[in-house]
Amino acid sequence: QVTLRESGPALVKPTQTLTLTCTFSGFSLSTSGMCVSWIRQPPGKALEWLARIDWDDDKYYSTSLKTRLTISKDTSKNQVVLTMTNMDPVDTATYYCARTSTVSNWFDPWGQGTLVTVSS
């Protein structure tokens, strides 16, 4: 059974850096073709893809957020970390991680999500 779980702070101040961790089980990011993506959803709004990291350490970022995002992985710990710098109240959202692959670029399954509020 594949599961993913996001963890990180529930509240960050404007200009701070957000660090989120996705801990997963049931698959390995050392397996050819495996990938993990981050997606976010502001309250009451639609989904926005943020970043992806592949089994071979290739990385992809949202064009509009590229300068603020960094994605990395620790294969031995089955974790993927996303950092987002210079947080702003508009970044308030539920942040999800999800499994994907290089040959099937849909997202399945998703973690439960973690709500991050940006406020002073």
Partner 1 sequence: AIRMTQSPSSLSASTGDRVTITCRASQGISSYLAWYQQKPGKAPKLLIYAASTLQSGVPSRFSGSGSGTDFTLTISCLQSEDFATYYCQQYYSYPPTFGGGTKVEIK
Q: Are strands 34-41 and 93-101 parallel, antiparallel or unpaired?
A: antiparallel
Query: Contact with partner 1 (CB under 8 A): which of 63, 67, 76, 120?
Result: 63
As a dihedral over the C-alpha atoms of residue 96, residue 48, residue 93, residue 86, rounded to 10 degrees, the angle is 100
Asked whether position 109 contacts partner 1 by CB under 8 A, the answer is yes
Candidates 14-22, 27-35, 41-49, 83-91; binding stretch for partner 1 (CB under 8 A):
41-49
Query: Contact with partner 1 (CB under 8 A): which of 46, 67, 76, 120?
Result: 46
Residues that bind partner 1 (CB under 8 A): 37, 46-49, 60, 62-63, 96, 104-113
